[in-house]
Amino acid sequence: MKRIPEPESMDTMEEAIELDKMCQKYIYILDEAMARSVTRMGIRTGKVLEIGIGPARIASKIVSYNPGLTVFGIDLSESMLKIAKENIKKFNIEKGKINLIRADGKRLPFRDNTFDLVLSHNMLHHIPDPVPLLKEVKRVVRQDGGILIRDLIRPPNKFIARLYSYMFGLGYTKKMRKLYYESMLAAFSRDEIKKMLKDAGLDVNIKSHFLTHYSLERLPVKRETSKTQFNRLDPFRELSLSFYVSGN
């Protein structure tokens, strides 16, 4: 199935609010898994860059689990950054722990070797050509730092994509299911991912997560064993989380 790209950013407040609702009500398992994966990577202090911070729910979990980290979150959408700012305030995040910047991931406003960890979640499929962004990731992350980029994998055809939208979007509104379906069509295939990494010169491991996601991962050279006590969910959700938690 040929890829059908999505818009690079959510320009309207309506779209941004809809995404935040999805994260809050349905995608919190994926958000929690991402925060736990970051924690398990063993970086206790330092600077983290999140490309496509969205509503800042993942970043808020990360600094909650890892008080020694400071997150710099970029996004192209002014509407999304506005919601992120409201969420940071609502979650009582300490001032300065999450810093919001309107910027393009393909032209990052940071010096070389700035960050101890660079991460991104469900954002890569919004980019027409992610190679420049992956080159920027390589540039701004420290040589001994970590990388964690997670995104959807494109299903083999539209029928499977539609099936997934109903199977894994159980309880979604019609609008949410449409967004999920379109995101799957915009995602990359495994062969496309491998080619992008080769073109960008980025050396990471590719890991699969269940039927729907993959991660590009590079563990930091220096790691500390995490003693973080994670927020426990009910047994079913904890089982679901196990498919998406990585970082070790």
What local confidence, expressed as pLDDT, does residue 21 receive?
Answer: 66
Is there a domain that residue 115 lies in? yes
Cα angle 80, 83, 89; round to 5: 140
The number of distinct structural domains making up the chain is 1
Backbone angles phi, psi at 10, to 5 degrees: -90, 105
Q: Dihedral sign, CA of 226, 38, 204, 242?
A: positive
Is there a domain that residue 2 lies in? no
pLDDT category, 175, cuts 50, 70, 90? Answer: confident
CATH of the domain at 76: 3.40.50.150
Rounded-to-integer distance, Cα 209 and Cα 193, Å: 15
For residues 108 and 139, the answer to whether their CB atoms sit within 8 Å is: yes
Quote the domain boundaries for residue 38.
Answer: 13-154+189-241
97-121 tens-digit pLDDT:
999 999 999 999 999 999 999 999 9
pTM passes above 0.75: yes
Buried b (16+ CB within 10 A) or exposed e, 193-227: beebbeebebebeeeebeebbbbbbbbbeeeeebe
What local confidence, expressed as pLDDT, does residue 25 receive?
Answer: 58
Is there a domain that residue 87 lies in? yes
Is there a domain that residue 200 lies in? yes
pLDDT at 14 over 70: no
Beta bridge partners of 47: 70
pLDDT at 16 over 70: no
64-94 tens-digit pLDDT:
999 999 999 999 989 889 999 999 999 999 9
Is there a domain that residue 125 lies in? yes
